Chains A and B, each alone.
Chain A
């Protein structure tokens, strides 16, 4: 029987300040890599990638003084595990200004198997043809099942498969930002 893990369990690996610092660094990396904010589109993956993309855009705007296009991408219909779980209601996909010829940065909270990103790449190809696609994640916890890697990582977090990485963000979960590892070998 799986036991319910209380939220307080486990250990905090990133607190609110760490999250903020990581996002600041990623925003600079994105600018450096893209040589400025031109033609940049930040696409957050539902659920927690969306506020992260908005925060990155705000930080980039503060540095460059230019507005950055931010959107959201829902990959529900593109998942490879649709048949193994009850159907979920898709979220909004919104891509202001389109992605044709743009430099798209996919933003997500945790990179794990890589399957969500695989689905996101498929979803992107139905929306248009970006000139380049990069990936920014807050946490990379390893255990990839597909040949996918992140371009910008907030924190590399070596984990066991039995552990859970819980990301809490002010916008989606209330309370202070936090990344916590729970569970593991018992």
Chain B
């Protein structure tokens, strides 16, 4: 495994399975009375969040603490970043305090990669702009693998705001690497530019009609991943109205009825209930949205363990 986790590109399919195997053991720890393992005792991890986050930050915090690391949370609000300090200075300052690992989220794509060139400790990308969010993709694949058994030959439909979604970008890479078939569904305005070439290279298909996809136009669908409509990243009008988006691309009660029985429904959260996903679908028996959250802690424990527990010198950067 590499020193950093900046992108799914850093991981081979074998690396991912190693992470999942460890995560499965970590999952058991979550059910114990004493939720603590000593693997990262004496190590310090800083969660450096320049963007708002509830689940990713707390998930990393719990993961670190259950491995006995000292976890410090820093957010842009209330830190010197709001006084105008540059990213480089902030990062160099916190690492100068003696940090063993840095979890970073930033609104600029490539921020984690950039930071990894400035400091010597392992960097974990917790979301950079519209680029990647590798631990989310890992926990999604882990959840799917637990539900479906294996991802080999399985068909996953990823639906929603693909242009602004780092979750989508990371998920396409991981799911294809694990042998799944991916169909990306979005209105033309929310389909990333250059998707035609990209999808050919990466090995996934695109579609504009959700109902056709769910009806099996690209093969029967084994799982649906709904993505959030990211209004905060939208500068223009990508669709006429929320209602129109829901009619065309929301996982409504009617569409829920067309899904194969037991086909897992995923959503990385936070959900816009009633917009991209109806309450009936979010709370359906086949929804694994809360399983994703608990898997998130296990997968992040696994990632922190593999990146930080071993020797820190002499690792391939």
A residues neighboring B (CB under 8 Å): 74, 76-78, 82-87, 89-93, 122, 126-128
Among residues of A, the one whose C-beta sits closest to the C-beta of B308 is A87
Q: Residues 252-277 of chain B: 1 if any A CB is under 8 Å from the residue's CB, otherwise 0?
A: 00000000000000000000000000
Segment among B17-25, B134-142, B206-214 that sits at the interface with chain A: B17-25
Chain B residues 8 to 27 lying within 8 A of chain A, measured CB to CB, are: 18, 21-22, 25
If A82-B39, A93-B28 are given as contacts, then 17 extra A-B residue pairs at C-beta distance below 8 Å, sorted by A number, are A77-B309, A82-B309, A83-B310, A83-B311, A84-B311, A85-B310, A85-B311, A86-B311, A87-B305, A87-B306, A90-B22, A92-B25, A93-B25, A126-B37, A127-B32, A127-B34, A128-B33
* A13 to B290 CA separation, bound complex (whole angstroms): 54
Q: Are B22 and A89 in contact (CB under 8 A)?
A: yes
Q: Are B18 and A86 in contact (CB under 8 A)?
A: no
Residue in A89, A126, A128 with the greatest tally of chain B CB atoms within 10 Å: A89
Across-interface contacts of B33 in A (CB, < 8 A): 128
Closest Cβ–Cβ distance, residue B25 to chain A (whole Å): 5
Across-interface contacts of B98 in A (CB, < 8 A): none
Q: Are A74 and B25 in contact (CB under 8 A)?
A: yes
Tell me if B219 counts as interface (CB < 8 A to partner A): no
Tell me if B36 counts as interface (CB < 8 A to partner A): yes
Q: Are A122 and B310 in contact (CB under 8 A)?
A: no
Closest Cβ–Cβ distance, residue A115 to chain B (whole Å): 14
Across-interface contacts of B153 in A (CB, < 8 A): none
Tell me if B216 counts as interface (CB < 8 A to partner A): no
* A77 to B22 CA separation, bound complex (whole angstroms): 11
Closest Cβ–Cβ distance, residue B117 to chain A (whole Å): 24
* A89 to B305 CA separation, bound complex (whole angstroms): 10
Across-interface contacts of A77 in B (CB, < 8 A): 37-39, 67, 305, 309
For this complex, 28 residue pairs linking A to B, each with C-beta atoms less than 8 Å apart, are A76-B39, A77-B37, A77-B39, A77-B305, A78-B37, A78-B38, A82-B39, A82-B309, A83-B309, A83-B311, A84-B311, A85-B310, A85-B311, A86-B311, A87-B1, A87-B305, A87-B306, A87-B309, A89-B18, A89-B22, A89-B25, A90-B22, A90-B25, A91-B25, A92-B28, A126-B36, A127-B32, A128-B33
* A83 to B313 CA separation, bound complex (whole angstroms): 10
* A122 to B21 CA separation, bound complex (whole angstroms): 22
Q: Residues 174-216 of chain B: 1 if any A CB is under 8 Å from the residue's CB, otherwise 0?
A: 0000000000000000000000000000000000000000000
Contact of A126 (CB < 8 Å), options: B18, B34, B305, B309:
B34
- Given the known interface contacts A82-B39, A92-B25, the answer about A87 and B310 at a Cβ–Cβ threshold of 8 Å is yes
Across-interface contacts of A91 in B (CB, < 8 A): 25
Closest Cβ–Cβ distance, residue B270 to chain A (whole Å): 32
Closest Cβ–Cβ distance, residue B42 to chain A (whole Å): 9
Q: Residues 301-315 of chain B: 1 if any A CB is under 8 Å from the residue's CB, otherwise 0?
A: 000011001111000
